[in-house]
Chains A and B, each alone.
Chain A
């Protein structure tokens, strides 16, 4: 028998597929550092970049799990608007009722997280027990959640009555004493960024080191084989959409706290698409069964830097979507080159 025993070298296509996004990020990073040397590498600029993209990043991390398990979730952008509105209504009601700011904000945050987990769970049930394709089931959410958010806010904006604590979630954080942006003003690493990092690490851990993660990959790669292996595929899917709902809740708190308000028409709008784009750029297969969290984080940064570049160089906002579209197309083309064999 002549079976090759020697360890095979990684074919070039696979290297490109695995590390292509990382290489692209490095090129963007170095390119920007050369192009705007005084600005780009400033710690504050990097911090702002991360801060602005944290919400999409948190969604994208959850979306990676969903897509690896063979699904898709279009509802999360609208879900963010709805549960953020719920959070602010809870805070405002509690404070007008004479409650302390701290307990009001605490209740608002809890309400948001509970609602996110609950809606994600419902998405999971509709998809598994209701046997509705994920695309359709979450398309329903995309339309319906936004509608409820608009109804709650009567189409406008809900302002938060919390004037200190809630906005502090948005712009507060951990000061980094070794990085001063002005004398005696240390750079603050915002909670949003820290949560993005924490959720990415947590998801990566779940995916690679737990039974749930292994099962999610198996369900996405070959659902029948997963069933034949005794895996409760419905449970795996419900857990996945519930985690996605939790991510949406964390993103919603951060996003509404940053503004200290919720615009029912604008909050989270198209975020689900940015999240999916980041996942795809990061090298996760849309067919499920294969993907990685760090790739998604890279994808988020690529999209963020490109948006940033477009803004700095004064490209009209109307054209920014076009450029993003081209980037996504390129990413998919590069990755397909190899799995096509």
Chain B
């Protein structure tokens, strides 16, 4: 139903799309995958009317269409659900759905009609909440349902979902997939963008791989194995993406957490970590993983519990205390908390450790030398260390965030979802980096929603549920089933 021919988009510095041909059929779930910079988001922005193509055409039902603004695409039933949802927290669900095209009667808002329509729409997406709920009180998964309901209200024929599961727990992901199946039955086409290969093979009918702004292949579900997709994306063979495990040296723990509690989130978490060890912290979204980690690093206030470094109880009440005690926390929210996007690579890398360069005047030369050393060591691909990090790809941004914390010379490194939203190539580099740091003696606490990642990298895994430690897995016990069992408290329904 929707087709693009010879689509090209040229930006001042890059050719984001280079003669792309691609067709989406009615009522299919079509996955689109590619490394960062492959041109996926540019394609989606053209389809949803945010960008106009430099060359090439978009055909809807065989007829050429031109979208000059997002409204044009929506009028034709093409709706995009962005990763960062476009909703207003302070309005109700119903008000959000009809935002910008409120129904009126005699010049006044027709609240009753909108509410009624909203109830119907929410039923279609099986949303368990009322249209009167304030949006800000909903979970991310529920907000996503509101976005989808809103899309349906546009009589959407094609819905583009950009990394929809990035913020969802496994159970919420399954619910989303059921909803996608229902949309498909109604003849809606879903274009599904994701980095998670196992997810694509699970939900999509066909999967298109893009690389360097060009079409590589479209595979039917049956032929698309995660390994084959990864190979097509990168354009080279990927060896086992996890480095071989090494045995951490025995010794006393460098970090011991006892009875940690954080208001609303963490009830009772105790764990210990040795030099050179990679400890996984697993749990569903909302299990208190991030909150526990933030409390250890001093970002969040502790309600109870003690934190020991090398056997000594330390007072850690803010981030500066954590830095002093050589604990570094690389946030899961790269753009919101991890980096100052408007600042350049250099300023970001030294931000947490500026004391080291300012005495009291910042020694620019030394700063530059150290930053260039990090850029080389972590293979960060920056055109210019003085250009804002907002221009970097997700993988390179993540490396800048890691470099920033490594520069504080930590002995305990906490990595929260370090590979979320980054491409396979960068993932592999991050894995190798974690492995190298651990073998050099750094104690790592790794938080991840990707169980494969935890199993592939960690020596031990601690599983949280509702703010408590449910169990600890080691060696052969580390399987997706066992993690899921502990994390959800039930036998896993679906194993990816």
The B-contacting residues of A in range 192-243, CB under 8 angstroms, are 209-211, 214-215, 217-218, 221-222, 224-232
Q: How many A-B residue pairs have CB under 8 A?
A: 97
Q: A3 contacts which chain B residues (CB < 8 A)? A: 37, 381, 383, 393, 396
Chain B nearest CB from A94 CB (Å) reads 37
B351 touches A214 (CB 8 A): yes
The B-contacting residues of A in range 250-274, CB under 8 angstroms, are none
Taking each of A9, A211, A230, which has the highest tally of chain B beta carbons within 10 Å of its own beta carbon? A230
In the complex with contacts A2-B212, A221-B342, A209-B383 CB distance below 8 A: no
Please measure, in the bound complex, the distance between the C-alpha atom of A210 and the C-alpha atom of B357, giving whole angstroms.
9
In the complex with contacts A210-B362, A229-B352, A289-B342, A4-B337 CB distance below 8 A: no
Candidates A11, A210, A217, A232; contact of B343 at CB < 8 Å: A217
In the complex with contacts A221-B340, A225-B336, A214-B362 CB distance below 8 A: yes
A225 touches B339 (CB 8 A): yes
Q: B170 contacts which chain A residues (CB < 8 A)? A: none
Candidates B319, B358, B362, B383; contact of A228 at CB < 8 Å: B319
Interface size for B (C-beta < 8 A) is: 41
A226 touches B340 (CB 8 A): yes
A290 CB–B CB distance under 8 Å: yes
Chain B nearest CB from A97 CB (Å) reads 42
Chain B nearest CB from A141 CB (Å) reads 29
Q: B340 contacts which chain A residues (CB < 8 A)? A: 217-218, 221-222, 225-226, 289
B354 touches A228 (CB 8 A): no
Q: A5 contacts which chain B residues (CB < 8 A)? A: 381, 383
Please name the residue on chain B nearest to A285 by beta carbon: B342
A8 touches B319 (CB 8 A): no
Please name the residue on chain B nearest to A288 by beta carbon: B342
Candidates A1, A218, A232; contact of B320 at CB < 8 Å: A232
Please measure, in the bound complex, the distance between the C-alpha atom of A35 and the C-alpha atom of B351, giving whole angstroms.
50
Q: A218 contacts which chain B residues (CB < 8 A)? A: 340, 343, 347, 351
A4 touches B383 (CB 8 A): yes
A211 touches B342 (CB 8 A): no
A211 touches B37 (CB 8 A): no
Candidates A8, A211, A214; contact of B383 at CB < 8 Å: A8
Chain B nearest CB from A231 CB (Å) reads 8
A209 touches B384 (CB 8 A): no
Please measure, in the bound complex, the distance between the C-alpha atom of A115 and the C-alpha atom of B58, giving whole angstroms.
67
Please measure, in the bound complex, the distance between the C-alpha atom of A5 and the C-alpha atom of B364, giving whole angstroms.
23
Please name the residue on chain A nearest to B329 by beta carbon: A228
Please measure, in the bound complex, the distance between the C-alpha atom of A232 and the C-alpha atom of B352, giving whole angstroms.
11
B35 touches A230 (CB 8 A): no
Q: A210 contacts which chain B residues (CB < 8 A)? A: 358, 360-362
B331 CB–A CB distance under 8 Å: yes
Please measure, in the bound complex, the distance between the C-alpha atom of A8 and the C-alpha atom of B387, giving whole angstroms.
9
B318 touches A230 (CB 8 A): yes
B358 touches A211 (CB 8 A): yes
Q: A214 contacts which chain B residues (CB < 8 A)? A: 347, 351, 354, 358, 362
Q: B336 contacts which chain A residues (CB < 8 A)? A: 222, 224-225
Q: B77 contacts which chain A residues (CB < 8 A)? A: none
The B-contacting residues of A in range 66-100, CB under 8 angstroms, are none
Residue-by-residue, is A1-32 near B (CB-CB < 8 Å gives 1, otherwise 0)? 11111111101000000000000000000000
A209 touches B361 (CB 8 A): yes
Please measure, in the bound complex, the distance between the C-alpha atom of A11 and the C-alpha atom of B371, giving whole angstroms.
26
B319 touches A221 (CB 8 A): no
Please measure, in the bound complex, the distance between the C-alpha atom of A215 and the C-alpha atom of B383, giving whole angstroms.
25
B13 CB–A CB distance under 8 Å: yes
Please name the residue on chain B nearest to A205 by beta carbon: B361
In the complex with contacts A209-B361, A210-B361, A230-B319, A224-B381 CB distance below 8 A: no
Residue-by-residue, is A54-76 near B (CB-CB < 8 Å gives 1, otherwise 0)? 00000000000000000000000
A290 touches B383 (CB 8 A): no
Q: A215 contacts which chain B residues (CB < 8 A)? A: 354
Please name the residue on chain A nearest to B38 by beta carbon: A2
Please measure, in the bound complex, the distance between the C-alpha atom of A289 and the C-alpha atom of B340, giving whole angstroms.
9
Q: A9 contacts which chain B residues (CB < 8 A)? A: 12
B212 touches A229 (CB 8 A): no
A8 touches B362 (CB 8 A): no
B421 CB–A CB distance under 8 Å: no
In the complex with contacts A3-B37, A232-B320, A8-B347 CB distance below 8 A: no
Chain A nearest CB from B119 CB (Å) reads 36
Q: B212 contacts which chain A residues (CB < 8 A)? A: 2
Please measure, in the bound complex, the distance between the C-alpha atom of A11 and the C-alpha atom of B351, giving whole angstroms.
27
Q: B339 contacts which chain A residues (CB < 8 A)? A: 222, 225
The A-contacting residues of B in range 310-358, CB under 8 angstroms, are 318-320, 322-323, 329, 331, 336-343, 347, 351-352, 354-355, 358
Please name the residue on chain B nearest to A1 by beta carbon: B425
Q: B351 contacts which chain A residues (CB < 8 A)? A: 214, 218, 226, 229, 231
Please name the residue on chain A nearest to B330 by beta carbon: A228
B377 CB–A CB distance under 8 Å: no
A221 touches B343 (CB 8 A): yes
The A-contacting residues of B in range 357-405, CB under 8 angstroms, are 358, 360-362, 364, 381, 383-384, 387, 393, 396, 404
B63 CB–A CB distance under 8 Å: no
Q: A4 contacts which chain B residues (CB < 8 A)? A: 13-14, 383
Please measure, in the bound complex, the distance between the C-alpha atom of A104 and the C-alpha atom of B341, giving whole angstroms.
52
Please name the residue on chain B nearest to A12 by beta carbon: B12
Chain A nearest CB from B21 CB (Å) reads 20
Please measure, in the bound complex, the distance between the C-alpha atom of A222 and the C-alpha atom of B299, giving whole angstroms.
15
Q: A227 contacts which chain B residues (CB < 8 A)? A: 299, 319, 337
B341 touches A222 (CB 8 A): yes
Please name the residue on chain A nearest to B331 by beta carbon: A228
Please measure, in the bound complex, the distance between the C-alpha atom of A3 and the C-alpha atom of B425, giving whole angstroms.
13
Candidates A1, A2, A6, A228; contact of B299 at CB < 8 Å: A228
Please name the residue on chain A nearest to B294 by beta carbon: A228
The A-contacting residues of B in range 240-255, CB under 8 angstroms, are none
Chain B nearest CB from A247 CB (Å) reads 20
Chain B nearest CB from A70 CB (Å) reads 12
Q: A2 contacts which chain B residues (CB < 8 A)? A: 37, 212
Please name the residue on chain B nearest to A290 by beta carbon: B342
Chain A nearest CB from B350 CB (Å) reads 8
A7 touches B320 (CB 8 A): no
The A-contacting residues of B in range 1-26, CB under 8 angstroms, are 12-14
Residue-by-residue, is B29-45 near A (CB-CB < 8 Å gives 1, otherwise 0)? 00000010100000000
Taking each of A1, A5, A7, A211, which has the highest tally of chain B beta carbons within 10 Å of its own beta carbon? A1
A211 touches B355 (CB 8 A): yes
Q: B298 contacts which chain A residues (CB < 8 A)? A: 230
Residue-by-residue, is B190-214 near A (CB-CB < 8 Å gives 1, otherwise 0)? 0000000000000000000000100
Q: A225 contacts which chain B residues (CB < 8 A)? A: 336-340
Please measure, in the bound complex, the distance between the C-alpha atom of A215 and the C-alpha atom of B360, giving whole angstroms.
13
In the complex with contacts A8-B12, A11-B12, A211-B355, A228-B338 CB distance below 8 A: yes
Chain A nearest CB from B59 CB (Å) reads 28
17 example contacts (A-B, Cβ-Cβ < 8 A) are as follows A1-B37, A3-B37, A3-B383, A5-B381, A8-B13, A8-B387, A209-B361, A209-B364, A211-B355, A214-B362, A222-B336, A222-B340, A222-B342, A225-B337, A229-B352, A230-B319, A290-B342
- Per CB-CB distance, the 8 closest pairs between chain A and chain B, nearest first, are A230-B319, A211-B358, A3-B381, A229-B352, A230-B320, A228-B337, A221-B342, A222-B340
Name A's B-contacting residues (CB within 8 A): 1-9, 11, 209-211, 214-215, 217-218, 221-222, 224-232, 289-290
Q: Beyond the given A8-B384, A217-B343, A230-B352, could you list 4 further A-B residue pairs with CB under 8 A, ordered by the A residue number?
A: A9-B12, A222-B342, A229-B351, A230-B319
